[in-house]
Amino acid sequence: EAGVTQFPSHSVIEKGQTVTLRCDPISGHDNLYWYRRVMGKEIKFLLHFVKESKQDESGMPNNRFLAERTGGTYSTLKVQPAELEDSGVYFCASSQARGNGYTFGSGTRLTVV
């Protein structure tokens, strides 16, 4: 089966610009997660979708971050306006049932300059 696909793999933007990250989960996986690793830190949870609904967005840093999951398929994570501290690797993961482990994408490396 196809894995979790993230696009773009790399993005370099200037402070104040807008960037949109995309995640295509494994087909049929209702659960979709966004995680982030900033330099030197652990991978941190951002939010969790079940189908098209936000189940938990307690990890979202602030209102500059907006996540959507249209029709319960792919998801986008928009950062607007981007700040320097937003630089890091953004991972998307999906799972079907609890206890099965998550399948992660390769991540999007975001650099804000």
Nearer to other proteins, 15 or 54 (CB): 54
Residue selected from 93, 94, 110, 112 as contacting other proteins according to rule CB under 8 A: 93
**Least distance from C-beta 20 to other proteins, angstroms?**
19
Q: How far is CA 111 from CA 34, 37, 38, 45, in A?
A: 17, 12, 10, 19
Q: Strands, E, within 3-112: which ranges?
A: 5-7, 10-13, 19-24, 31-37, 43-50, 53-56, 65-68, 75-79, 88-95, 103-104, 108-112
Q: Is residue 107 involved in binding other proteins (CB under 8 A)?
A: yes
Residue selected from 67, 91, 94, 110 as contacting other proteins according to rule CB under 8 A: 91
30-89 positions binding other proteins, by CB under 8 A:
31, 33, 35, 41-45, 48, 55-56, 58-59
Q: Is residue 103 involved in binding other proteins (CB under 8 A)?
A: yes
